[in-house]
């Protein structure tokens, strides 16, 4: 158990809908990272937040957004969903702003039908 | 461009046999190097890391990796695999070029034959 929690575990929704994925980092960690893992694209870094502020952006679509709240939990919002957004979404956390040792949650499996 | 290559998509090894998973990177300077493992249905877990110093690093679960600067490689090894090692293994690097964000390889799926 990494100490990172993600909810929900599974999510099934229709195209065009909007969903919110939630992540609680390990106690004491200030950075949260979001990743998308799909069969065709592999593991893709989406975005990092550090202590409430966006720190780094990866391959995140404009339809996706994230935020980190004062209690350090984070939410990833996915809107106007397409079939291709079906994937496993991971959250990871780490103590610092520039941290290589990331602790991953179990993931949220999103299925868009 | 910066890249991390794991040339083997799948590797099949008999239980008890030795294992080597390959990882090559393309960076101007020596990056920080990592191996993560993803067991079925789980998130990723850090196996080991290399920052500097001794080029042979020990990790958890009996794994080790060797950094070879001349070959830009950081191969993962285990002398004797167990059925519980069946998982997907990801090599990752972080360097100043990438603002120290982790750049991930495509992963190698390890299959263990009984």
Question: Which stretches of chain A score pLDDT less than 70?
Answer: none
Coil vs helix vs strand at B16: coil
Contact A90 B32 (CB under 8 A): no
pLDDT for the residue A23 = 98
The minimum CA-CA distance between A106 and chain B, rounded to whole Å, is 4
Kindly list the distances between the CA atom of residue A72 and the CA atoms of A46, A111, B15, B17, in Å, as whole numbers in the listed order: 18, 27, 43, 44
Which chain A residues contact residue B49 at CB under 8 A?
Answer: 100-101
pLDDT for the residue B43 = 87
Q: Write down the residue that tokens 């590797």 correspond to.
A: B11
Q: Residue A40 has which token pair? A: 């065709």
In a mutational test of the A interface, the residue from B25, B31, B43, B91 whose CB has the highest number of chain A CBs within 10 Å is B43
Question: Which stretches of chain B score pLDDT less than 70?
Answer: 1, 97-100
Q: Which of B60, B59, B67, B76 is nearest to B20 (CA)?
A: B76
pLDDT for the residue B1 = 66
User: Which H/E stretch holds residue A50?
Assistant: strand A42-50
**pLDDT, tens digit, 9 for 90 and up, residues B65-90:** 999 999 999 999 999 999 999 999 99
A62 burial via Cβ count (<10 Å: 0-12, 13-18, 19+)? exposed
- DSSP letter for B3, please: E
Residue A1, C-beta contacts closer than 8 angstroms, at least 6 positions apart: none
Residue B25, C-beta contacts closer than 8 angstroms, at least 6 positions apart: B2, B3, B4, B5, B31, B33, B72, B73, B74, B91, B93
The minimum CA-CA distance between A100 and chain B, rounded to whole Å, is 7
Rounded mean pLDDT of chain B? Answer: 91
């Amino acid at each position: 158990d990494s100490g990172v929690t993600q909810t929900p575990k599974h999510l099934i929704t229709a195209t065009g809908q909007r969903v919110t994925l939630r992540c609680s980092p390990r106690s004491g960690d200030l950075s949260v990272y979001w990743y998308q893992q799909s069969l065709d694209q592999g593991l893709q870094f989406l975005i990092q937040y550090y202590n409430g502020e966006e720190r780094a952006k990866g391959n995140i679509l404009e339809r996706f957004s994230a935020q980190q709240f004062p209690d350090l939990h984070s939410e990833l919002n996915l809107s106007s969903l397409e079939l291709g957004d079906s994937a496993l979404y991971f959250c990871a956390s780490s103590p610092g702003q520039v941290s290589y040792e990331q602790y991953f949650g179990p993931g949220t499996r999103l299925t868009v039908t | 461009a910066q890249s991390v290559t794991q040339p083997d998509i799948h590797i099949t090894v008999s239980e008890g046999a030795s294992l080597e998973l390959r990882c090559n990177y393309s960076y101007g300077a020596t990056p920080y190097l990592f191996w993560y493992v993803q067991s079925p249905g789980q998130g990723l877990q850090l196996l080991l890391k290399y920052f500097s110093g001794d080029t042979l690093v020990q990790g958890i679960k009996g794994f080790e990796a060797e950094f070879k600067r001349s070959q830009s490689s950081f191969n993962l090894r285990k002398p004797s695999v167990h059925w519980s090692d069946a998982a997907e293994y990801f090599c990752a690097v972080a360097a100043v070029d990438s603002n120290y964000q982790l750049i991930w390889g495509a992963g190698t799926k390890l299959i263990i034959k009984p």
